[in-house]
Structure 1
Amino acid sequence: MATVRTVLGDIPPAALGVCDAHDHLFLRSPRLPGQELADPAAAAAELAAFRAAGGAAVVQWTPYGMGRGATELPRLARESGVAIVAATGLHQAVHYAPEVLDRLRPDPAARFVAELTEGIGGTGPHAGMIKVAGGFHGLDRHARHTMAAAAEAQRATGAVIGVHLELGTGALDVLGLLCGELAVPPDRVILGHLNRSPDPVVHRAAAEAGAYLAFDGPSRAHHATDWRLPDALAALAEAGFEDRILLGGDTTTADARSVNGGPGMPHLLRGHRRRLELTLGAELVTRFLTTNPARAFAAVWPDSRP
């Protein structure tokens, strides 16, 4: 039976509830100096604000080596009442010191599988998804290496692969590699940040291929603005792809947290949701937030198979 693997154990997909399909409670990167998400108390406050706004689950896309806060996540989930799904995988090479990548380079797939089936660090909570990343309009050697490892881990575990698309670009290149050369089932791929490149041709092609499309995070400088999102989602829904759409907040800096005056995780439900409902209707938006992530993040895990 398919279940969603959270940091407190596996749950039925229907129990996930209203889900922020892409966000971060903890995150550290040399690309974001001084903006680390490293404070457990701030993470707890953000979860409480999200819960108060009607949220029930958060998928943290922070992968290996970027300060996932794995030891804190189970406690935060218990205390907040919010289900948390953690990630394994690797981001772009620029987010790591060379020695971190050197430790994984021989066999990253083995690490991904272990974190999905044995727990992060061997004794920590289980990861419930795989996170990898493309580049700006292309795939470099690191991306190809990590995606090959992700595909191997996906075959071994059934876990879904979430892909950071740099500024929303390169979606079809990613699908060509993962679902073409590497034979990952398209419905085991989530393409992230498509709101940052509001190209209806690419959105339609990715949906037709069978991938999930994540529209995650409020607008930032030089990104597509929020007012274009309702039209993009309406076009996909009208074409029959309403079952492919996921929504997320993608809070990546301390300044962006609601407790620090930013939009933070509650914005998904207080800002995005209300605005989308005016255009698309409450029933369809609820499907994006509940039914679709429940299906996208569920898997028949190897350690629970008969």
Structure 2
Amino acid sequence: MVSTVRTVLGDVLPEHLGVCDAHDHLFFGSPQLPGQELRDASAARAELAAFREQGGGSVVQWTPYGLGRRAADLPLLSRDTGVHVVAATGLHQAVHYDAGTLAELRGRLADTFVAELTTGIGPSGVRAGLIKVAGGFHALDAHARWTMTAAAEAHHATGAPIAVHLELGTGALDVLDLLCGESGVPPHRVILGHLNRSPDFTVHRQAAEAGAFLAFDGPSRANHATDWRMPDALRALAEAGFGHRLLLGGDTTTAAARSVNGGPGLPYLLRRLRPRLEQALGKDLVGRIFTENPGRAFGVEWR
């Protein structure tokens, strides 16, 4: 079988992704961020076009079930801008949902993930290319264990990668214990997000040694105090031989953070962060982090 990345326009070879923003959001809405919903399709198109102008080739949207993915809009945006888009299934932390939504998913969560990966997200027919779940702050509560267990089941049924929101960058090793140790998910099918928010170089290295992909995604207004540590963290991992495990993303989650509204938005990743990292790590490694690594992380021999 051939490894492919499942985009909203169909499966593509990993080498066709181009420069990849490995964690971002074109659409997103949560009761935890009232008034900052990403709902405007025109603004999403402008962000993608600006990213394309900076040399971007693909964006992986980590917006999961029930948080305003607008899957039906993603194919047109991808065609209009020439940027590959990968959609997600999965479930975020419990605080992002009402009790009724969670109750409806009891007993069928893994089946929901599998359906969205194989037949499509609702009537849109757009197939997801990854499963996004989330941990808690330095711990895994019952909701996290439920969603991660379902994600593991869906992985075993489809081969899909599992991307994990680490709350403030913490809990990486607990996540790997559950997904890989208890549930049998191969570590290279796990992507740990937000590691830049907790610059614990020892934990970073342990997660890399376990075989997971490590995503550093920002800048972050809420976690800006750690943004400046990112080059050091990436350098330490590269020098330890884990440059092939690194991913970079923007994680735009609010309307105010979009470039069209005066924020950094999708273009910042390539316009400002890429040159900064090239100074610290060298152009060759940064180029591979943006192109080769996402293909390995999101490329799957789909079942």
2 CA distance for matches of 1:219 and 1:37?
Answer: 16
Alignment of 1:55-70 (within 5 A): 55-70=56-71
Q: How far did residue 48 of structure 1 move?
A: 0.6
Alignment of 1:164-183 (within 5 A): 164-183=165-184
Give the match for residue 301 of structure 1.
Answer: 302
Q: What is the CA deviation profile of residues 237-288 of structure 1, one whole-angstrom value per residue up to 9, with x for unaligned ones? A: 0000000000000000000000000000111001110100011111100111
2 CA distance for matches of 1:99 and 1:191?
Answer: 29
2 CA distance for matches of 1:123 and 1:202?
Answer: 40
Q: Taking every aligned residue pair, what percent have the same amino acid on both sides?
A: 72
Alignment of 1:262-301 (within 5 A): 262-301=263-302
1 CA distance for matches of 2:36 and 2:127?
Answer: 26
- The one-letter amino acid paired with 1:74 is P
Give the match for residue 213 of structure 2.
Answer: 212
2 CA distance for matches of 1:222 and 1:132?
Answer: 20
Q: How far did residue 123 of structure 1 move?
A: 4.2
- The one-letter amino acid paired with 1:55 is G
Check conservation: 1:192, 1:216, Cα contact below 8 A. Answer: yes
Q: How far did residue 221 of structure 1 move?
A: 3.6
TM-score w.r.t. length of structure 2: 0.98
Q: Secondary structure at the match of 2:110?
A: helix
1 CA distance for matches of 2:72 and 2:220?
Answer: 31
Alignment of 1:251-270 (within 5 A): 251-270=252-271
- The one-letter amino acid paired with 2:152 is A
Structure 1's 219 and 32: CA in aligned 2 closer, same or farther, altered over 3 A? closer
Check conservation: 1:114, 1:122, Cα contact below 8 A. Answer: no
Alignment of 1:50-199 (within 5 A): 50-199=51-200
Give the match for residue 20 of structure 2.
Answer: 19
2 CA distance for matches of 1:222 and 1:86?
Answer: 25
Q: Secondary structure at the match of 1:299?
A: coil
C-alpha RMSD of the superposition: 0.9
Check conservation: 2:199, 2:226, Cα contact below 8 A. Answer: no
Structure 1's 291 and 222: CA in aligned 2 closer, same or farther, altered over 3 A? closer
Q: How far did residue 224 of structure 1 move?
A: 3.8
Q: How far did residue 5 of structure 1 move?
A: 0.3
Structure 1's 261 and 110: CA in aligned 2 closer, same or farther, altered over 3 A? same
Q: How far did residue 107 of structure 1 move?
A: 1.4
Give the match for residue 239 of structure 2.
Answer: 238
Q: How far did residue 293 of structure 1 move?
A: 0.2
Check conservation: 2:134, 2:164, Cα contact below 8 A. Answer: yes
Check conservation: 2:138, 2:171, Cα contact below 8 A. Answer: yes
Check conservation: 2:190, 2:212, Cα contact below 8 A. Answer: yes
1 CA distance for matches of 2:147 and 2:289?
Answer: 28
2 CA distance for matches of 1:8 and 1:97?
Answer: 31
Q: How far did residue 97 of structure 1 move?
A: 1.3
Q: What is the CA deviation profile of residues 133-168 of structure 1, one whole-angstrom value per residue up to 9, with x for unaligned ones? A: 000110000000000000000001001000000000
- The one-letter amino acid paired with 1:234 is R
Q: Secondary structure at the match of 1:262?
A: coil
Check conservation: 1:198, 1:224, Cα contact below 8 A. Answer: no
Give the match for residue 48 of structure 1.
Answer: 49
Task: Extract unaligned runs of 5+ from structure 2.
Answer: none
- More moved, 256-265 vs 114-123: 114-123
Check conservation: 1:197, 1:224, Cα contact below 8 A. Answer: no
TM-score w.r.t. length of structure 1: 0.97
Structure 1's 17 and 222: CA in aligned 2 closer, same or farther, altered over 3 A? closer
Q: How far did residue 223 of structure 1 move?
A: 4.2
Check conservation: 1:115, 1:122, Cα contact below 8 A. Answer: no
- The one-letter amino acid paired with 1:80 is T
- More moved, 214-223 vs 197-206: 214-223
- The one-letter amino acid paired with 1:75 is L
- The one-letter amino acid paired with 1:299 is V
- The one-letter amino acid paired with 2:98 is A
Q: How far did residue 102 of structure 1 move?
A: 1.4
2 CA distance for matches of 1:254 and 1:296?
Answer: 28
Check conservation: 1:251, 1:265, Cα contact below 8 A. Answer: yes
- The one-letter amino acid paired with 1:12 is L
Alignment of 1:23-34 (within 5 A): 23-34=24-35
Q: How far did residue 100 of structure 1 move?
A: 1.2
Q: How far did residue 222 of structure 1 move?
A: 4.3
Q: How far did residue 301 of structure 1 move?
A: 1.2
